[in-house]
Structure 1
Amino acid sequence: MDELALLARSDGPVTRGRLRRDLTALGLTDGDLVMFHTRLSALGYVAGGPGTVIGALADVVGERGTLMVTCGWNDAPPYDFTDWPQAWQDALRAEHPAYDPDLSEADHSFGRLPEALRRRPGAVRSRHPDASFAALGAAATELMADHPWDDPHGPGSPLARLVAMGGRVLLLGAPLDSLTLLHHAEALADAPGKRFVDYEQPVMVDGERVWRRFHDIDSEDGAFDYSAVVPEGQWPFEVIARDMIAAGLGSHGLVGAAESHLFEAGDVVEFGVAWIERKLRPAAPDS
């Protein structure tokens, strides 16, 4: 979309000051710990791009607040490289660079904001290569410390700490299915048929590049088979989030030109776990 179209849709340039006002009206406030997801184009023409958005968020949460994003690793080796011809595998194992929290780019599919935030002076990124997060602000180090190698969306993860520390989740024009925190709900939910993946990626251990095996819920194809409870063509997280909104959770409004949502992290996980267990557990037999 060209700049003129963006300007027209958003009723003029979206400036840092305008973002501050809109975010405050939505309910974000000083001292907040907030994980955010952004579709930048939905906001309209943002004067200054990602830096303006991060700056406005930082202005609103202040020095006591913290911003958090999901990063992943854009150049991670493919999960299925172990199915490649042996010579190809050997070449990859010999020379694929190890994950570096300071240098490895955030997954491009998450948009421009995660990469922009994790490169900010003072930002802290978690050690897990595939499920890495980054944070900037007062609680950044505490949030990112000792990210579990296995079950990286479960207990002890940055997502778990976000909930424990009373954090919030902000969708700035991002689709409802981008609500990464629901992976934490999947990790916690007690329902049959939970799907897991095992994969290998290179990391640095005591200054040496090593290949490590990881175990996690299947966050790519889905931790559960939702086909019986989610209409065809819809995404499970979108359906859960819409049910959450229908139940009255969160605040909702425009930021720039974008429909945006602000949720309490604890509410998202509590609702998500209950939804998964209610929908996917087999009905108890009549006594």
Structure 2
Amino acid sequence: MTEALSRAEVTAQLRRLGVKRGGVLLVHTSFRAVRPIEGGPSGLIDALREAVGPDGTLVMPSWTELDDEPFDALTTPTARDLGVVAQTFWRGPGVRRSDHFHAFAAEGPQAAVVTADPLPLPPHIPASPVGRVHDLDGQVLLLGVGHDANTTLHLAELMAGVPYRTPSYCTVLENGRATRVDYGENNHCCARFALADDWLRVRGLQTEGRVGQAHSRLSRARDIVRVALEYLSMDPLLFLHPVDAGCEECDQARQSVGAAPFIRNTG
């Protein structure tokens, strides 16, 4: 059985990877890949806090999968696929959480800036938590996950004006009444986000190393967006699997090309 790493050892790994003290750090993580760590998920969060320091801001995804229920930042659970670290983080004292379905959670001096925007539709427009991390020149840390989990690439898609939108919806409270909001989202399987590995590596814009037991990646959000925009300008459908690949999600995104993006309330 692998011996659990101490929080101090994990903090040292994060600093060797290049986590900036005093910066903004957006973290996507799989604790299953990272463990064992002293203190479990809370121990990992403490190590991340120590790595960014008291002047740094820690950010994690915190959206829900309960699209038929109005979101409550104080009680609504995070989506299961975000994992136990994200679920633990937003419940911590002093952590702010966006007050909308596509929430992120943040702690630190820039937390209010990151989480202040109203419901972003689609979820990762510039006026969203991911967009604010980009504005603040934050870093993106992928702990035991690949770029398929990297929401900053969805921001790049929207900034590039990709032409696909698939139907999505959420439920909000309007005048005390649950109201369904339909919108188009730049959604697909995200597997081809893995292309960003080579794009960033060849330019020396991604550092990689072990954090806990997991292979991890670190880049500036602005570098991720800048490089992705370069490639998307040549092929806006680059992140979609080819037609003959048998990917239902990417096929659905391709079929939406040419349709007008939409946002509407259906009551």
Give the TM-score band, short-chain normalised. 0.7 to 0.9
Secondary structure (helix, strand or coil) at the match of 1:34 reads strand
CA-CA distance at 1:214 after TM superposition: 4.1
Cα deviation per residue 1:209-240 (whole Å; 9 max; x = unaligned)? 33141424232556xxxxxxxxxxxx111122
Q: 2:118 & 2:22 partners in 1: Cα distance?
A: 23
- Which of 167, 178, 194 does residue 238 from structure 1 map onto? 194
Match of 1:76 in 2: 67
CA-CA distance at 1:33 after TM superposition: 0.5
Instruction: Give 5+ residue unaligned stretches, structure 1.
Output: 78-96, 223-234, 283-287
Q: Residue 95 of structure 2 contacts residue 107 of structure 2 at CA under 8 Å; is this kept in 1?
A: yes
Match of 1:90 in 2: none
CA-CA distance at 1:114 after TM superposition: 1.1
1:39/1:216 Cα in 2 relative to 1: closer, same or farther (>3 Å)? Answer: same
Cα deviation per residue 1:23-72 (whole Å; 9 max; x = unaligned)? 11111132110001112122241222110010011111112111111122
Could you tell me which amino acid in structure 1 is paired with residue 179 of structure 2? W
Structure with greater Cα Rg: 1
Match of 2:217 in 1: 261
Match of 1:62 in 2: 53
Match of 1:29 in 2: 20
CA-CA distance at 1:186 after TM superposition: 0.8
Match of 2:144 in 1: 173
Percentage of pairs with the same residue: 29
Q: 2:161 & 2:121 partners in 1: Cα distance?
A: 18
Q: 2:123 & 2:197 partners in 1: Cα distance?
A: 22
CA-CA distance at 1:100 after TM superposition: 0.6
Match of 1:227 in 2: none
TM-score by length of 2: 0.82
Q: Does 1:116 align with 2:88?
A: yes
Q: 1:16 & 1:187 partners in 2: Cα distance?
A: 37
Q: Does 1:202 align with 2:171?
A: yes
Cα deviation per residue 1:106-128 (whole Å; 9 max; x = unaligned)? 11111111111111111111123
| Alignment coverage as a number of residue pairs | 238
Q: Residue 98 of structure 1 contacts residue 204 of structure 1 at CA under 8 Å; is this kept in 2?
A: yes
CA RMSD of aligned residues (A): 2.0
CA-CA distance at 1:198 after TM superposition: 4.2
Q: Residue 117 of structure 1 contacts residue 136 of structure 1 at CA under 8 Å; is this kept in 2?
A: no
Q: 1:13 & 1:199 partners in 2: Cα distance?
A: 41
Instruction: Give 5+ residue unaligned stretches, structure 2.
Output: 239-267
1:273/1:148 Cα in 2 relative to 1: closer, same or farther (>3 Å)? Answer: farther
Secondary structure (helix, strand or coil) at the match of 2:47 reads helix
Q: 1:174 & 1:43 partners in 2: Cα distance?
A: 10
Q: Does 1:143 align with 2:111?
A: no
Could you tell me which amino acid in structure 2 is paired with residue 109 of structure 1? D
Could you tell me which amino acid in structure 1 is paired with residue 203 of structure 2? A
